Structure 1
Amino acid sequence: MVTVSVVTPMYDEAAAVDGFAARLRPVLDELGLPYEVVAVDDGSRDATVARLLALRATWPSLRVVALRRNAGHQAALAAGLRAARGDYVVTIDADLQDPPEVIAPMVSTAVSRGVDVVYGVRADRRADSGFKRRTAGLYYWLMRRLAGDFVGGQAGDFRLMSRAVVDVLNGLPEQRPVYRLVVPSLGFPSAAVEYARAARVAGRTKYPLGKMIRLTVDSVTSFSAAPLRVATWLGLVSFVACLALIVGGLLAWSLGGTVPGWTSLYIAVLLLGGIQLICLGLLGEYVGRIYAATQNRPAFLVAFDTGGDVTEGTAPASSEAGADTGTRAA
């Protein structure tokens, strides 16, 4: 018989735990399939773990995996994927912006159509702010341009995956995976289920603008060498500009029209210095990834697991290490 695992990363979600469980449990009970819920606490500072353990007393299917520190959303997902035992694994956040009721159509679609991935696609994002909708659209447009057409338009981290997909993800050596890009890049047969995104059930967003930008940088550098090519073109353009300035200076000197001054020199130094710093920064992003890969440090360490068999220490490093967990970027 098919079994289902639901993986949900949590960070300071004590106010949302009860409401999330009240919505999720009836959905899973009505499936008529064996299931488990793997709640991964990402080093919460509030009573999230206490609420989860209290719920587990009356809900044996709830499994609590607590990380020793806040490792970030993607690392928490990695821990949950390693712990999950189901034939199908659903990843969903606890803020109820993605409705648990969509899980049933996801399972039905996967079984009836024989696909390995079912994406939750946000057909209606009116609950999000205008700024969030515009930045999300820009993110997915940029990723399609740089990474490829396999990137969906509005598919985040709410998805169903077969055991085959999860095993591949757990075996990847990638240090900073961005799962919303990694999963579609694998090329497994897929389908989509549309839904309307709701407002956050409690608390505030755990993903401010700075972390959204960090995710975008990680996404770009993980799937494209375009920034390095931009650095190359900036270097070529600056070289041509310097040649033009040299020719102009020699021409002015030959005509006796040179005037002592610092403005042109000041502007040129600032321009070329800025371009050089941009290029060094882009190179540094890639060198930093190489450095992290050579260190091979664990992305997360498990404090305890009520299921008892999650591995630790070799999961891919988080693209948002130290970042808050609970609400996705786009």
Structure 2
Amino acid sequence: MPASAPVLSVVVPMLDEADVLPLFIERLRPVLDGLGEAYELVAVDDGSRDATPVLLQAARRTWPELRVLRLRANAGHQAAISAGLAAARGAWVVTLDADLQDPPEIIPDMLRAARAEEADVVYGVRTDRSSDSAFKRRSARAFYGLMRAMGAKDAPDNAGDYRLMSRATVDAVNALPEDHRVLRLVVPALGFPSTTVGYVREQRAAGASKYPLARMVRLSVDAVTGFSSAPLRLATWFGLGGFVLAVVLLGYALVAKIVGHTVAGWTSTVVIVAAFGAIQLLCLGVLGEYVGRIYATLQRRPTYYVAHDSLRDSSPAPADAEERPHRT
């Protein structure tokens, strides 16, 4: 790490955050300036199509610690965080969303906890999620329950992507070869010493959520298939269970035929076809997710493209040097 590297890097993925960005800067800058230590704010613009890039460039004129990392196209929330981690230079790195649901004011608490307890990771844990909808709270409990059942026992409940990591942790994450990684499971799986800092989750300060239901489902699928092979074994058990169920229902259909309570041949045909069809489709879907991940890995396509880094691209660069592909 260079001698001029900051003590703290704060990585913030941003996608169309023009409405909330002024409020975010107003709250975050006093916190970072008050640390009394060298820092950098790595704002990862994930292909925003609103005024976010303009506002970031305007803020850089009066905030020299602000560093803008612009991706060529939208790569997704987790990929944007990975891009920021790859670029961050600090001895400690915080990942934080710009919506102000996770208050930046606890960053000093995270840093103190890491140093006092000699922890490599400090998770921000939501002690009060009353600002979230009932559906989101229930789905979050179901998600973390499923992850624990699959072996992710080190992942703290109600901990999202608000965390502080040591340089050793960040280097370990950056060295991982896997694609479409879900950091809220990958970081605990490393097994580095960790602790937690609690906070009350707030309402989004402005703008709209960038995590609709479809993206939440996609994140959950990536988490499940990227973390464990248990669903493959589950597919096998589903197949065996479906076979047993089909045999039982076939016996029922035969008895019903003998006593004359059914149309000849109809029940047994429908039951067997429906049971085996459902099981086969489910198992094929699970297998397809894993095959898809293998296919994406074999393609070796970059997960994101860095179009501009204000730290390194202060002077015009050749056209062939503007895009730098990266894999996560």
What TM-score, normalized to structure 1? 0.89
CA distance in 1 between counterparts of 2:45 and 2:304 reads 11
Quickly say closer, same or farther: Cα 1:134–1:245, change in 2 above 3 A. Answer: closer
Q: How does 1:261-300 map to 2 (within 5 A)?
A: 261-300=265-304
**Aligned match of 1:68:** 72
Q: Which amino acid aligns with 1:95?
A: D
Counterpart amino acid of 2:100?
L
Equivalent residue for 2:46?
42
Query: RCO (CA 8 Å, sep 6+): is it higher in 1 or 2?
Result: 1
Q: Does 1:313 align with 2:319?
A: no
Relative distance call for 1:249 and 1:38 in structure 2 (3 A) is: closer
Percentage of identical aligned residues: 58
Q: Which amino acid aligns with 2:233?
A: R
**Equivalent residue for 1:193, pick from 171, 191, 197:** 197
Which consecutive unaligned segments of at least 5 residues does structure 2 have?
314-321
Instruction: Indicate how the Cα distance of structure 1 residues 192 and 251 shifts in structure 2: closer, same or farther if over 3 A, else same.
Output: closer
Deviations 1:260-308 (A, max 9, x none): 3324312321221111111100100111111111111101001111012
The CA deviation at 1:254 is: 10
Q: 1:245 to 1:94 in 2, by over 3 A?
A: closer
CA RMSD of aligned residues (A): 2.3
Q: Which amino acid aligns with 1:112?
A: A
Residue of structure 2 equivalent to 1:91 = 95
- 2:16 corresponds, among 12, 33, 40, to 12
Aligned residue for 2:264, secondary structure, equals: coil
C-alpha distance in structure 1 between counterparts of 2:310 and 2:75, whole Å: 19
> Which residue identity is paired with 1:29?
D
Q: What CA distance in whole angstroms lies between the structure 2 residues aligned with 1:220 and 1:43?
A: 27
**In the alignment, what sits opposite 2:224?**
220
How far the C-alpha of 1:225 sits from its partner, in A, is 2.0
Q: Secondary structure at the match of 1:195?
A: strand
Uncovered stretches (5+) of structure 1, i.e. residues with no partner: 317-330
How many Å separate the matches in 2 of 1:205 and 1:260?
55
Residue 326 of structure 1 aligns with which residue? Answer: none
Pair 1:302-2:306 in alignment = yes
Cα distance in 2 between the residues matched to 1:283 and 1:251:
36
Letter of the 1:179 partner, please give it: L
d(CA) in 2 for partners of 1:251, 1:110? 68
Aligned positions of 1:98-177 closer than 5 A: 98-177=102-181
> Is the deviation greater in 221-230 or in 282-291?
221-230
List per-residue Cα deviations over 1:79-124 (Å, max 9, x = no partner). Answer: 1001100000000000000111000111111122221111111111
Deviations 1:144-195 (A, max 9, x none): 1113321111111000001101111111001121000000110111111111
Shift in CA distance, 58/233, structure 1 to aligned 2, threshold 3 Å: same
Kindly indicate whether the alpha-carbon contact (under 8 Å) linking 2:72 and 2:323 is maintained by their aligned counterparts in 1: no
- Between the aligned partners of 1:299 and 1:251, the Cα distance in structure 2 is 58
Q: Structure 2-normalised TM-score?
A: 0.90
Partner amino acid for 2:326? T
Name the aligned partner's letter for residue 121 of structure 1: V
Q: 1:30 & 1:254 partners in 2: Cα distance?
A: 83
TM-aligned CA distance change 1:255 to 1:175, over 3 Å: same
